[in-house]
Structure 1
Amino acid sequence: MISDDPRLPLPVRISRLKRSRRLRLRVDHDARLLKLTMPWRHSARAALDWVVGQRPWIERQLAAAPDAVPLHDGATIPVEGVPLAIVHQPDARRGVRVEGQELIIGGPAESVPAAIERWLRALARERLSAETARVAAAAGVTVRSVSVGDAASRWGSCSSSGAIRFSWRLILAPPHVLRFVVAHEVAHRLHMDHSPAFKAAEERLFGGPVGPARSELRRLSPSLRAVGRR
């Protein structure tokens, strides 16, 4: 259900969840939506009134959102935490390669965004698969599969069957941030909760306190999600 409330700067998508115990609100900058989750039997009207009461917070989120960074010639994007300038060379061979501080791509201009995203996804899958295998071996657990996607609000997820899925955007972050997310998801192969035992396993697999890496990911999240947005 989507509501266009004139009191709000963006439409609101309302989702009722049977397991939800409280109202949760998130700004989806890509979709230009406010996403509200609410308990199954909660009043939609009361929930919208609550969202209106959050308007100062919403306005701050919109104002703080970084500008979109389209994947085209002249843009600069981080790859494994290192800023690289995109350089389009139409006459160069198709494909993407790193030369110093530049990301060189050949072929027609209209193919540049899709080609760069494919390259980033492939690099993310390679790095995440290798790191997951390493951490899983240290944990003494098995992982059924590793895949990458582009979830709007989650950096990783682990199913009870051992399938782990990550956001490809982790390849944009510094390597220790990627390692933290891998340690977090592999720790779920030991404990499918966020209990003290889980947190101890997470820190053991990461190799130390995870707080700084978690805070860094939280700080970087808006800029990482802006990459490739039009």
Structure 2
Amino acid sequence: MADHHLPGHPPVPLTVRRSARARRISLRISQLDGRVTLTMPNGVPERHALEFAAEKEDWIRSHLDARQSNEMVDIGSTLPVEGVARHVEVGTGRNVVLSEQTLAVPGNSAPRRLERFLKELARDRLAAASDLYSARLGQSYARLSIRDTRSRWGSCSAQGGLMYSWRLILAPPPILQYVAAHEVAHLVEMNHSQAFWNLVEEIHGPYREQRQWLRDEGASLHRYRFDG
């Protein structure tokens, strides 16, 4: 795997990788972080992939421009929690309070306190969903961890450890529940075979709408920053 740049203002980083399974040069822009990856067959000169990217420059830049820019979250911001837009306001007392329309954050360092609150809420919701689906599956998991991953929404280790992105708490509840069912199903099927998808549907029900939502809207969950 090699890193290059598409010239221009600004230059666009390119990742070039080879694949024995590739039959032609392909280009992909990650919906999560905007990374541009060129995949090429073994034996094809690297310059051909770079020439292909140059031919697609207008398309690449238009897609990158369309991606939403980062938004720093603080008092006065609007932030989705469980898919509902909430206005962040100054709170009283000692705890962050979530209501139908607001997030009341007391004290200083509102972004950091809000981030901690959201991580705790995500852990509670994901633990409940994981418990539900693992019970339906009849298979227990070993542990559950929450991270801020950009490459995946969740994972399941061979040892039965579940990991989730805490940003799922920003999405509508059915999205979080689908991801939990997806990862729990990996406790039995460590692959994405038809048997795996049948298992997801067995413990969750229809999932294609939620899966498509993540493809279309998932990148927007990463635009919110709490490190201002």
- Picking from 178, 181, 189, the partner of 2:179 is 181
The residue aligned with 2:5 is: 4
- Picking from 203, 210, 217, the partner of 2:214 is 217
* Greater relative CO (CA pairs within 8 A, separation 6+): 2
Q: Would the aligned equivalents of 1:28 and 1:152 in 2 still touch at CA under 8 Å? A: no
Amino acid at match of 2:158: S
1:200 aligns with 2:198: yes
TM-score with structure 2 setting the length: 0.84
**Shift of residue 62, structure 1, vs aligned partner:** 2.1
The residue aligned with 1:168 is: 166
Cα distance in structure 2, aligned partners of 1:137 and 1:66: 38
Matches within 5 A, 1:128-139: 128-139=126-137
Change (3 A) 1:139 1:57: farther
Q: Would the aligned equivalents of 2:14 and 2:37 in 1 still touch at CA under 8 Å? A: yes
Identity %: 34
Aligned residues: 223
Amino acid at match of 1:26: I
Change (3 A) 1:6 1:186: same
User: What CA RMSD, in Å, does the superposition of the two structures yield over aligned residues?
Assistant: 2.7
Cα distance in structure 2, aligned partners of 1:104 and 1:56: 43
Structure 2: which 5+ runs fail to align?
none
- Picking from 82, 86, 97, the partner of 2:84 is 82
- Picking from 34, 42, 47, the partner of 2:49 is 47
1:73 aligns with 2:75: yes
Cα distance in structure 2, aligned partners of 1:179 and 1:134: 10
Cα distance in structure 2, aligned partners of 1:29 and 1:134: 28
The residue aligned with 1:57 is: 59
Structure 1: which 5+ runs fail to align?
none
The residue aligned with 2:37 is: 36
The residue aligned with 1:103 is: 103
- Picking from 98, 109, 116, the partner of 2:114 is 116
